[in-house]
Structure 1
Amino acid sequence: LVEPVIDDPPAAVLFDFGVSSHHLDDAERGFSYHQEGPLDMRMGPDAPYTADEIVNSWDENRLARVIRKYGEEPMADRIARAIVRARPIDSTLRLSTIIADAMPAARRRAGHPARRTFQALRIAANDELTAVGEGVDQAVELVRSGGRIVAISYHSLEDRIVKRRFAEGAKGCTCPPDLPVCGCGNTAQLRLLTRKPIRPSAEEVEHNRRARSALLRAAEKIAA
């Protein structure tokens, strides 16, 4: 989160994961499957890959694995095959059309057919899930005792990482229950404030459609 040592630890850290509305609305960033733009999808210049590199140079099996793992897309093999056959692909709308054409008609009617694949490419280009886990771990160390860590995720992959990291931090002694005295010395660092993720209300979704998939979890630091 930060390079220098902070003398006065923060009282709270808020994570708002995923792609921002600014990124989605700027066609030149290449995140949107609705607008014509370059196959970029990098959050910043230090991202490991561009979407162009992934789409046009990764082999079919590797592409399918990424689309399946990071997009949770059941049609990953069909999509990867269609992408490889259509190379070179030079724009977001061209890629979106290729993905849609690879889908059966029923899938094309159930939400935008490129959504999951674009999510997968973005996550792979930026190594987002590694950043989520590392960010939460750093926040646990950084925030002061009594401080709060709040994380807003936008898909199940991010939320699982946050849930697991919070659960690990809230776990105390890991000794077998029949031991009379603790031998592991582990103490809980966190207290869970949300056992289940908080979802946006219908009213909030009505005013902000992009909030519909948001999942909020929170924890309190209880040990220095």
Structure 2
Amino acid sequence: MNCPNCNAPVFNYNLNIQTDIGKCDACQQVFKLSASFKCPPSQTTFSYELDLSQVPEDMTINKNVDGISLQIKNSIGYGLIASVLPISVFLFFYFFATEVIDFESIDAKILYIIWGFGAIFGGFMIWLFLQSIFGELNINLTNRGGNIEKGIKIFGWHSTYSFDWKTVSGIEEELTYYKNKNQMQPFYKIVIYANQRIEIGESLTDEKRYFVLKYLQYYLGKVKTTGKLQ
């Protein structure tokens, strides 16, 4: 979590859940943990704006008699770099190692560990490669509610979430932190507060995630105020 005073990340060793106290190393602010937790928004008015002429690249909006759909494809360029580059580096060092290291003299258990790591790493990179080409986020909205699909649908590797507009109290961007090499890194996602908490947009670029957020907020406002999407 981040400090309510200076917004700097607060590390776990400065959080005491039992006493409900947290302390920030950056500004030395002492605060109550319970007062800093973000609760689902309670909104009585819904007024949002959206410029549909500013649709980011790799995103498509379709309107029909049943409702509106937004299709978001992953960026192939970034995905290929993120997947092919680590694979190339791994293969380079692997073949370099085969020329330098005598694998026949290495204990079998160590070889199993090496091959196991290579299999796990390779599997993850293959999934990332496929995600970069075939991965999509589809948001289908009707006057009654919405249906969200994310993942690689062509291979059946996807998740589906549904919600009713009547149960939606708000749609917000949420910022959390995860620890990476003793540093707290920001992690953004879009949260739909409905009959179930729906989280999307974790892998989107900032531009795409912002548009998806405004897109959902805009049609939530239309339904809450007029009862219809269009």
Q: TM-score, normalised by structure 1?
A: 0.27
Q: Which has the higher strand share?
A: 2
Q: Which has the higher helix share?
A: 1
